[in-house]
Structure 1
């Protein structure tokens, strides 16, 4: 099995099948719905790091198994060049670029996220999720629809927000153009203590 697949969902599916688990088995182990896991495996939804950590535990792998963190030649170098960022496809619509030279060393988890246009004429069901910590989002390009609990917000380039991640939330791009955001999460789920 490849360590790095087309997206996290397809890698979860490969691991689940390798371990001869059904979606129902994984659902029971993770306390996540079969429908959500099915959408995740097909690349139709994103997942919070905390939920991915629960799935990793159920599949007997470490969280960083799902990411291709390349060890840099000079760990003292604190600069991440735009041409040298790690890119991780989360789904076929979401690509994450790591903005830290060492994703395991710092309390903050900074990412540049590209959200591809939603091109279907039908609306998609967005599952809200909550997890430990706080999030900061800054819209660089495009239009972001942010849902926090029952409220929906439209953010434009230059807009930002900070909120407690324990409030159910998610975001999407309902336009026909790419949306780029900076997302910083604290605490960093990859930090080595």
Structure 2
């Protein structure tokens, strides 16, 4: 193997590792979760995520299934041309499991494959049933909410805001926040979190 081929192989391993780790975290899954689903040891999966080892297509296929994506999705943006634009067509956003999912929240991630650290996360959030208690969130960065449908009372710290279609709310994610009352369901809103410089893992 030439030096150039070795360098390209190392680049691919790092790309795949970063992509797998990002997808796993987007789904709120641990290495142990994926290890069990893909029938791959935790140590091996950790080395794959860190770009420290090559792996077979069979193993990558099992990891992709464990993540709920196609094998081709793992390679989607490898050595792509252009200016780094990403188009997510209607109906093709990734539904991910997050802490609020158990309270009737549906999270559709509108952009992904952004490298090893996240600079921002845009979600389309749908709440179609009232299942208290509601989750309380705290995270780095600034969050922006834009209401599309329904009506919700949303708490940020000690203040509660009533949000209706067309309303926008921007706040510090480090302050505890989350739904206070579902006034009118179904509720749909766009939530975009911009993380501090350096991103968020």
- TM bin, normalised by shorter chain, reads 0.5 to 0.7
Match of 2:76 in 1: 73
Going from structure 1 to structure 2, the CA distance change for 1:81 and 1:71 (only over 3 Å counts) comes to farther
Question: Contact conserved, 1:117 with 1:175, CA < 8 A, in 2?
Answer: no
Match of 2:60 in 1: none
Partners of 1:108 and 1:126 in 2: how far apart?
24
Matched, 1:167 2:179: no
Question: Contact conserved, 2:119 with 2:200, CA < 8 A, in 1?
Answer: no
| C-alpha RMSD of the superposition | 3.9
Match of 1:99 in 2: 110
Question: Contact conserved, 2:150 with 2:185, CA < 8 A, in 1?
Answer: yes
TM-superposed CA distance for 1:84, in Å, is: 1.4
Match of 1:115 in 2: 127
SS at match of 1:83: coil
Matched, 1:146 2:154: yes
Question: Contact conserved, 2:120 with 2:193, CA < 8 A, in 1?
Answer: yes
Task: Describe the superposition over 1:132-171 as per-residue Cα deviations: whole angstroms up to 9, x where unpaired.
Answer: 1110000011112210112211100000011111111112
TM-score (norm 1): 0.55
Going from structure 1 to structure 2, the CA distance change for 1:73 and 1:83 (only over 3 Å counts) comes to same
SS at match of 1:144: strand
Matched, 1:87 2:95: yes
Partners of 1:67 and 1:144 in 2: how far apart?
32
Question: Contact conserved, 1:130 with 1:167, CA < 8 A, in 2?
Answer: yes
Going from structure 1 to structure 2, the CA distance change for 1:81 and 1:169 (only over 3 Å counts) comes to same
Question: Contact conserved, 1:138 with 1:159, CA < 8 A, in 2?
Answer: yes
Match of 1:158 in 2: 166
Alignment of 1:30-69 (within 5 A): 68=68
Partners of 1:181 and 1:67 in 2: how far apart?
25
* Residue ranges of structure 2 left out of the alignment (5+ in a row): 1-22, 37-45, 50-63
